Structure 1
Amino acid sequence: MSFEAILFDCDGVLVDSEPITLGALRHMLNASGWAITAEECQHIFIGKTVRSETARIERETGQPLTDAWMAAFYALRDAGLHARLQAVPGAVAAVQQCHALLGGNIAVASGADKAKVLMQLDKVGLLPLFDPHIFSGHDLPRTKPFPDVYLAAAASLRRDPRRCLVIEDALPGLQAGLAAGATVWGYCPREGGHTTPEALLAAGAQRVLRDMGELPGLLGQTD
């Protein structure tokens, strides 16, 4: 086995949540006066927190980004997730196999708020496999692209980050994994991926998975 632990991003890697979340965000931004397109919303916000773009949102809408606005966004987002969220194809079986292969040494390191991460993992049946090793960048001094959330996840498993594998689908998270000292594999589905395999490799991913079901069989291999 080449790695002692696997640290998974959540959105876009374990759960197919990004279209739902970005759809809710775009609805809120449009209603606030920013005629942002779906493509622009994905380009600007994928892999980031909404509040990290506060200055741009306030400039484009002409309104302050208030706690009440964020609460309304979270409510709209969570309603959509509760109604329509599904696991990334192949992710549940892959996590189950990785959990067995690594003796439980797996964790989630997400840039999303922890309540959302927990709800999503619970909805697709993955929560028992990761609990209590579930971390949010919102709870740390810095979120992705800084390494804090991956360092916290590795520490919770008592593993050297340099012996950990990170699975990421977005460039900020890939940068965070690399900054933590981990090996990073990108994930880009054959249909609907928001970051190309070429972009993930150019940013430092060692390899790119096109199907999450490939992951367990690749763990003993080295490039």
Structure 2
Amino acid sequence: MSQPLCLLFDCDGTLVDSEPLLGQVMADVLPRAGLPFSTDQYMEEFRGVRFMNIVAELERRHGSVDDDIRSAAETEMRSTLAERMKRELQIIPNVRETLDLLADHPRCVASNGPEHKIRTALDSTGLRPYFEDRLFSAYTLNAWKPEPFLFLHAARSMGYEPEQCVVIDDAAVGVTAGLRAGMRVIHINRFGESTPRGAIRMTDMAQLPGIIARLDQLEAVAAK
């Protein structure tokens, strides 16, 4: 019998609904640093993208800002977001039930966010026991999605080959990274976006157990 597929979950927008909070905080902080920005702009254009890459693009459009101002904006953004996450963060619907149903599958979190942000998100929502310390941050590795290294490193650390892994991610950068890594990719598409070719589209986390069951069956047939 083939071993269960290893599940690599994104965090923001996949497990927890932190992206609207992040968009709101950035829409407050960045304009005061001289970079026009809105919550809608984050949700429509920059979801899942590394903060400094967003800043770099805004500076390209609107002009450079002083290094000290840029650094202070990031510090304020992260401290404000952490406090709001502790008070306001909600789990994406059906995540807890889905994780319970998939308890026989090894799993981890692989996120473009800093590790302390991942821990804050999981601790404040009670999801940490589902993953314990199987947390992989792009900031720790200095390698961000859409490059595949984060997912490839997570797979190796979990003891799996890329073809034995399934990426579950809501953002285009994560879907692209998973496909580049040679993994199966499930795009949780909650905003009516275009799902990249090669990825499996779903609109609700409750659909995930059924999709994983079908992938497990395909894996079992291929192993015969």
Task: Give yes or no for contact 1:140–1:149 (8 Å, CA) kept in 2.
Answer: yes
Distance (whole Å) between structure 2 residues aligned to residue 165 and residue 67 of structure 1:
36
Task: Provide, for residues 163-219 of structure 1, a one-character-per-residue CA deviation record: whole Å limited to 9, x for no partner.
Answer: 111101111111111111100011023xxx2x51xx11x3431x2121101212322
- Structure with the greater alpha carbon radius of gyration: 2
2:211 matched residue in structure 1: 218
Secondary structure of residue in 2 paired with 1:174: helix
Aligned AA (1:101): D
Secondary structure of residue in 2 paired with 1:219: helix
1:204 matched residue in structure 2: 198
Q: Does 1:74 align with 2:75?
A: no
Q: Does 1:108 align with 2:109?
A: yes
* Greater mean deviation of Cα atoms: 28-37 or 127-136: 28-37
TM-score by length of structure 2 reads: 0.87
Cα offset, 1:124, TM superposition? 1.4
Question: How high is the sequence identity, in percent, across the aligned residues?
Answer: 30
1:10 matched residue in structure 2: 11
1:152 matched residue in structure 2: 153
Distance (whole Å) between structure 2 residues aligned to residue 215 and residue 56 of structure 1:
34
Alignment coverage as a number of residue pairs: 212
Task: Give yes or no for contact 2:169–2:175 (8 Å, CA) kept in 1.
Answer: yes
Distance (whole Å) between structure 1 residues aligned to residue 80 and residue 72 of structure 2:
12
Q: 1:203 to 1:24 in 2, by over 3 A?
A: farther
Secondary structure of residue in 2 paired with 1:63: coil
Calculate the aligned-residue CA RMSD, in Å: 2.0
What does 1:77-92 correspond to in 2, within 5 Å?
77-92=81-96
Task: Give yes or no for contact 2:11–2:109 (8 Å, CA) kept in 1.
Answer: yes
1:128 matched residue in structure 2: 129
Distance (whole Å) between structure 2 residues aligned to residue 116 and residue 185 of structure 1:
23
Structure 2: runs of 5+ lacking an equivalent: 219-224
Cα offset, 1:15, TM superposition? 0.2
Cα offset, 1:141, TM superposition? 3.4
Task: Provide, for residues 49-94 of structure 1, a one-character-per-residue CA deviation record: whole Å limited to 9, x for no partner.
Answer: 1112343333426423533221111111112211110100001111
Distance (whole Å) between structure 1 residues aligned to residue 36 and residue 3 of structure 2:
47
Give 4+ residue runs of structure 1 displaced > 3 Å after superposition: none
Q: 1:27 to 1:182 in 2, by over 3 A?
A: same
